[in-house]
Amino acid sequence: MNNFSSSAINNHKILVVDNEINTLNSLSSLSNKSQYSFTSASNTTEALDLASKEHFDMMLLDSKQNANYNNEFIENIRKFNKDLYIILLTNNKDLPSQLGSINSLNIQGCCQKTNTTDTLIPLVESGMDAISQMNLIKNIDFRFTKSPSTLNQIYLEAIQTLRLSVEAKDAYTQGHSDRVSKYSKLIGKYLNLPDKDLKTLEIGGLFHDIGKIGIPNSILQKNSKLTIDEYEQIKNHPSIGAHILSNSTVFKDIIPIVQYHHEHYDGLGYPCKLAGSAIPFLARITAIADAFDAMTSKRIYRNSLPIKVVKNEFIKNRGTQFDPELTDIFLDILDKHYDEIEQIKNLYKKG
């Protein structure tokens, strides 16, 4: 075991499970910051022993120490710390396949060891942002358990606090999440869903992208087209969002929306490749609202798409990307109630 830190007072404790000194050396710039404290373990047995004795916020896990992505080690370490934010370090240059392999595990990120300076450090720092968000939600839940009668006030305060955090991380999210929230609720209205589901759709839409807090700014704010590896990191945001909310009582109903809004009806989406009815119903609704807003919003790399093109995309992807019955409902809304769509677009123009 080795501890390396420049300060005796640290806010964030990181366990590094790696027997290569180069990895530790690459983290030296972070270890010079007083808010980080690193402890190293040369193998998973030592890591389990350490985790049983003290709390860590994050673990950097060498993939060789977790051969074949054995979930047993992850499950065992989470017996001591279910909130632990885990980043997998890999020598494999095929990062997309690595990220695909870990989606079945409760791991929040992945980084090639050859890119530790440029990639790992931003990933660690954005991961710490996600951890801070999780701690904020824990505090919200604690306040609720102490005073259930004030749930509505706590809920509204929590929504505003989380909104500010997410929007500060990704400027695009502001108008986008507002619109996805309202489009989702609109679809729910024409499905005659109960008020409870409409509320879940509304709040779920607002925070469907909360996991982007754990994505480095260099990726989120990039002004050019993302590389394949960068896009794979973006694709991890639903899993990060679900982890942030995993222990929340107040926001437990929106976790399926956060985690599964990028699943495709044919099973080719992410992060879990769920298909058909295995995808939670409200997440299937949010997926349509999310895709519609993405297509009708101006992006750095393209203008917004004409509504005729958007309709054709939904028709083309009916039954593959999107739930066929929900697609029909939404196309009917676009044909007969587009004034309500326009009202939402005009109300939340920014984004």
pLDDT digits (tens, 9 = 90+) for 134-180: 988 888 777 777 766 666 776 777 777 777 777 777 766 668 889 99
Catalytic residues: 212
Residue ranges of the domains in the chain?
Answer: 2-130, 146-347
Tell me how far CA of residue 258 lies from CA of 66, 112, 272, 320, 329, in angstroms: 28, 26, 13, 20, 22
Domain 146-347, CATH homologous superfamily name and number = Hypothetical protein af1432 (1.10.3210.10)
Tell me how far CA of residue 173 lies from CA of 122, 240, 285, 299, in angstroms: 20, 16, 18, 12
Q: Count CA atoms within 13 Å of residue 349 on its CB side.
A: 2
Looking at residue 348, its pLDDT comes to 86
Tell me how far CA of residue 267 lies from CA of 93, 106, 278, 279, 305, in angstroms: 26, 20, 9, 9, 26
**Residues of the chain predicted below pLDDT 70:** 1-10, 21-26, 28-34, 65-70, 92-105, 114-117, 147-151, 154, 171-174, 300-301, 350-351
Looking at residue 209, its pLDDT comes to 92
Both structure tokens of 296 = 């009708």
Looking at residue 308, its pLDDT comes to 95
Q: Is the pTM of this model over 0.75?
A: yes
Q: Which CATH architecture has domain 2-130?
A: 3-Layer(aba) Sandwich (3.40)
Dihedral sign (CA 250, 253, 258, 259)? positive
Specify the residue for token string 């690459």: 26
